[in-house]
Amino acid sequence: MTTKIVIGLDGTETGERAMAFATDLAKLIGSCELLVAYVIEWSPYTFQTPEENAQRHKRREEEVELATSRIVTPAVDALKAAGFAAQGVVRHGDVAETLNAITVENEASQIVVGRASADGIKKRIFGSSTQNLVMHADVPVTVVN
């Protein structure tokens, strides 16, 4: 059976370190598939103008397209070039919840993420996405510094 590892990217350099760690891990495991995930922070409970609502579908496609071409596809290509089995996924939602949901859906056995950069007051009150992920994930989580 192939082991699956989810790599959560956030478009910063900590993501690259997470990639490097996950590839080291994959080499040790042997038969291993890497799933590169990028979550676009989004909540269904925000307030929008009617015009924003009318354009939402278009914006969503643009956001997915941008995240795929800038972040996920280059990462997947690099992994494939290095000889790994790899796939990419882009989703909207709460970062921690969605990364965990992707992991559960794909029956992956662990998640590797980079440590998120500090985010002021919001982080002090609600904690960072990384903290939330570590607290609530259904599988082991490795946070790469």
Partner 1 sequence: MKTLQHLYLAALAAFMATAASAQEAPGLDDKINQAFADATGPFVSFIFAPFPGTGFPWIVGWLVIAATVFTLYFAFVQFRFFGHSISLVKGDYSDPNDAGEVSHFQALATALSGTVGLGNIAGVAVAIGIGGPGATFWMIVAGLLGMASKFTECTLGVKYRNEYEDGTVSGGPMYYMSKGFAELGLPGGKILAVLFSIFCILGALGGGNMFQANQAHQQIAGIVGDYPGWITGLVFAAIVFAVIVGGLKSIARVTEKVVPFMGVMYVLAALVIIIMHADQIGWAFGQIFAGAFTGLGVAGGMVGALIQGFRRAAFSNEAGVGSAAIAHSAVRTKEPITEGFVSLLEPFIDTVVICTMTALVIIITQQLIVDPATGNYMLNEAGNAIATVDGNSGVSLTSAAFGSAFSWFPFILAIAVVLFAFSTMISWSYYGLKAWTYLFGEGHTKELVFKIIFCIFVVIGAAANLGPVIDFSDAAIFAMAVVNVFALYFLMKVVRQELASYAERLKSGEIRKFEH
Q: Which of 97, 79, 72 is nearest to 10 (CA)?
A: 72
Q: Is 40 in the site for partner 1 (CB under 8 A)?
A: yes
Nearest to 99 by CA among 54, 50, 66, 143: 143
Site for partner 1 contains 61 (CB under 8 A): yes
Q: Which two tokens stand for residue 143?
A: 């946070």
Number of residues in the chain: 145
Should residue 92 be labelled a site residue for partner 1 when binding is judged by CB under 8 A? yes
Nearer to partner 1, 25 or 40 (CB): 40
By CB under 8 A, tell whether 122 contacts partner 1. no
Q: Which is nearer to partner 1, 44 or 120 (CB)?
A: 44
Q: Strands 3-9 and 141-144: what pairing? A: unpaired
> Per CB under 8 A, does 134 bind partner 1?
no
Which residue, 30 or 50, has its beta carbon nearer to partner 1?
A: 50
Rounded distance, CA 36 to CA 73, Å?
9
Site residues (CB under 8 A) for partner 1? 40, 42, 44-58, 60-61, 63-64, 91-93, 97-98, 101
